[in-house]
Amino acid sequence: MTPKRAFGRRFRRGEPGYHDALMGVLFNKREPNRFPEIIVQANGVEDVVAAVREARRHDLRIGVCSGGHSWSANAVRDGGMLLDVSRLSGYAIDRDRMFALAGPGCGGSELAAAALRANCFFPAGHCRGVCIGGYLLQGGFGWHGRMLGMACESVTGIDVVTADGDLVHANESEHADLYWAARGSGSGFFGVVVRFHLKLHRRPKYIGGAAHVYRIEHLEDVYAWAHEAGRDVFPEVEFQILMTRRAGAIFAPGLEVVAPVFADSEKRAREVAAFLTESPLRAKAAVRVPLLPLGLAAMYAGVMLHYPSGRRWGVDNMWTHAPVDALVRTMRRLADTMPPAPSHTLWLNWRPPERRTDMAFSVEDAIYIAAYGVWKRPADDARFASWARDNMAEAAHLSSGVQLADENLGERPMRFVTDEHLAKLDAIRDARDPEGRFHPWMGRPVPAAFSVDERSAESSPARAVAVPPPVDG
């Protein structure tokens, strides 16, 4: 006899367990002060279908949460339904077909580890615990992403529950509008993805990295060098600078310059990492770590030193191709005002390709800068909560947009899709969700106001974005 399936739990506002269910979906432990009328914890696809149909019957709007790593808690809104799909966490890998199936609650680091065991690779996110649902919907900046592309470009299809409560499969030839929208619309997607169909990639023969650590007095030199050197960094390398008041090995304010490498051989790895290991600044480094082979688990462990659980977060970001002097001043201002560690900033050398897959995702640029304020006590909210937002607002004239992973759209709306793609998303939403069953983004994307000024843009301008010309001085 087949055992009866356990249906998911539900909590109405005011009932025992409601608050725990609400805070349980949030990595950011700052309470959003928004309260859904009902929280549904789905255990399977049937629960999701039932929940969407219930929301239709009772005219409830829906927010969907898979892993809870949205810093601004996009899924949590006043009234309506919060649909928690984190329990749809299963996955299966077909090594022969280089293919995987995974639920939205599947942890990206878990999927990446399973792919490696099968001698494959998947560009999962850089933080352990981030589930693939929100990660893939917003685009997905993952390991080896400069070579393999956005993680959502490895999505070959989705199984999605529509606003009508129907379960459909979408790919490039059936329900193609949903497939297009799902790759880049993030929290504004108008359906519930219950299963991702994923292309796997060949496992790199060499995975490793090199690092230098500089004291904060070298800030200007390090970022000026990074701005110049970043133009020629090979796509096998993820060139990043993490600035914190407690930098690794020196336990003092400084900059961790890291270069994870994914290459076809150790020889090629040394070739592509030479920009760092042979940098003209290396003599100023307080710590130098040569290129070493590393497992992905070790890389995750290093990242998670800066992303502890159980903390309160204030986060914001920008894409940019602004002149180096203006960016260095921005980084100095961030350094001078930064809250205590593990608060930090990230400078990511991205340099996108000229063309991407046709999908909703459409804004990226040469350099990505994000600020992460991190603290423990509610009493410190007033001191630290606005640090990232205020600094990114101050630098908005240098920005070509934001990426959804680290956005703060509820407080600072910015553009994350091109105007053309936003219009297409609106048209698909009108057709697929005419009643507005699913919440859109908390802040409407800001339209482009300027054209690219090629005279002030650097040699790797933004791809497919209209960018405000960077200021001089």
Instruction: Look up the CATH number of the domain holding residue 110.
Output: 3.30.465.10
Q: Is residue 427 part of a domain?
A: yes
Instruction: Quickly list H helices, 183-283.
Output: 219-229, 266-277
Domain membership of residue 194 as a residue range: 91-202
Q: Which of 177, 202, 227 is the last residue of a domain?
A: 202
Is residue 41 packed enough to be buried (19+ CB in 10 Å), middle (13-18) or exposed (0-12)?
Answer: buried
Instruction: Quickly list H helices, 25-138.
Output: 45-57, 108-117, 132-138
Q: Are 74 and 190 in contact (CB under 8 A)?
A: no
For residue range 123-180, what is the model confidence (pLDDT) as tens digits?
999 999 899 999 999 999 999 999 999 999 999 999 999 999 999 999 999 999 999 9
User: CATH number for the domain including 411?
Assistant: 3.40.462.20
Whether residues 212 and 198 fall in one domain: no
Three-class DSSP category at 131: strand
Question: Is residue 415 predicted with pLDDT exceeding 80?
Answer: yes
Contacts of residue 393, Cβ cutoff 8 Å, sequence gap at least 6: 316, 412
Question: Is residue 285 predicted with pLDDT exceeding 80?
Answer: yes
Beta pairing partners, 367: 320, 349
Whether residues 300 and 328 fall in one domain: no
Question: Is residue 452 predicted with pLDDT exceeding 80?
Answer: no
Q: Is residue 440 part of a domain?
A: no
What pLDDT sits at residue 7? 63
The angle subtended at Cα 225 by Cα 275 and Cα 374, nearest 5°, is 100
What pLDDT sits at residue 446? 81
Q: Categorize the per-residue pLDDT at 5 as very low, low, confident or very high, splitting at 50, 70 and 90.
A: low
Q: Is residue 438 part of a domain?
A: no
What pLDDT sits at residue 465? 40
Residues above pLDDT 70, as percent of the chain: 93
Question: Is residue 455 predicted with pLDDT exceeding 60?
Answer: no
Question: Is residue 459 predicted with pLDDT exceeding 70?
Answer: no
Q: Categorize the per-residue pLDDT at 405 as very low, low, confident or very high, splitting at 50, 70 and 90.
A: confident
For residue range 188-198, what is the model confidence (pLDDT) as tens digits?
999 999 999 99
Q: Cα–Cα distance between 68 and 131 in angstroms, integer?
A: 8
Whether residues 254 and 335 fall in one domain: no
What pLDDT sits at residue 449? 56
Q: Categorize the per-residue pLDDT at 467 as very low, low, confident or very high, splitting at 50, 70 and 90.
A: very low
Question: Is residue 450 predicted with pLDDT exceeding 70?
Answer: no
Question: Is residue 2 predicted with pLDDT exceeding 60?
Answer: no
Q: Which two tokens stand for residue 326?
A: 């203006």
What's this model's pTM, rounded to 2 decimal places? 0.93
Question: Is residue 1 predicted with pLDDT exceeding 50?
Answer: no
Q: Which two tokens stand for residue 28?
A: 């950011």
Q: Is residue 168 part of a domain?
A: yes
Q: Are 196 and 158 in contact (CB under 8 A)?
A: yes
Whether residues 332 and 417 fall in one domain: yes
- CA-wise closest residue to 305 among 263, 341, 254: 341
- CA-wise closest residue to 181 among 377, 362, 408: 362
User: CATH number for the domain including 294?
Assistant: 3.30.70.100
Q: Cα–Cα distance between 233 and 126 in angstroms, integer?
A: 20
Q: Which of 50, 84, 118 is the last residue of a domain?
A: 84
Q: Cα–Cα distance between 145 and 149 in angstroms, integer?
A: 5
Whether residues 108 and 182 fall in one domain: yes
Whether residues 35 and 104 fall in one domain: no
Question: Is residue 347 predicted with pLDDT exceeding 80?
Answer: yes
Q: Is residue 441 part of a domain?
A: no
Q: Cα–Cα distance between 152 and 423 in angstroms, integer?
A: 20
Average pLDDT, the chain: 93
Q: Which of 49, 84, 119 is the last residue of a domain?
A: 84
Whether residues 97 and 190 fall in one domain: yes
* 375 phi, psi to nearest 5 deg: -155, 170
Q: Is residue 473 part of a domain?
A: no
- CA-wise closest residue to 68 among 126, 151, 130: 130
Whether residues 258 and 234 fall in one domain: yes
For residue range 24-62, what is the model confidence (pLDDT) as tens digits?
999 999 999 999 999 999 999 999 999 999 999 999 999
For residue range 228-255, what is the model confidence (pLDDT) as tens digits?
999 999 999 999 999 999 999 999 999 9
Amino acid at position 309, single letter: S
Please give the torsion angle defined by the CA atoms of residues 172, 177, 180 and 183, in that order, rounded to the nearest 10 degrees. Answer: -120
Q: Is residue 402 part of a domain?
A: yes
- Cα-only R_g, the chain: 22
For residue range 349-369, what is the model confidence (pLDDT) as tens digits?
999 998 999 999 999 999 999
Question: Is residue 462 predicted with pLDDT exceeding 70?
Answer: no
Q: Is residue 283 part of a domain?
A: yes
Number of compact structural domains in the chain:
4
What pLDDT sits at residue 445? 80
Q: Which two tokens stand for residue 401?
A: 């947009």
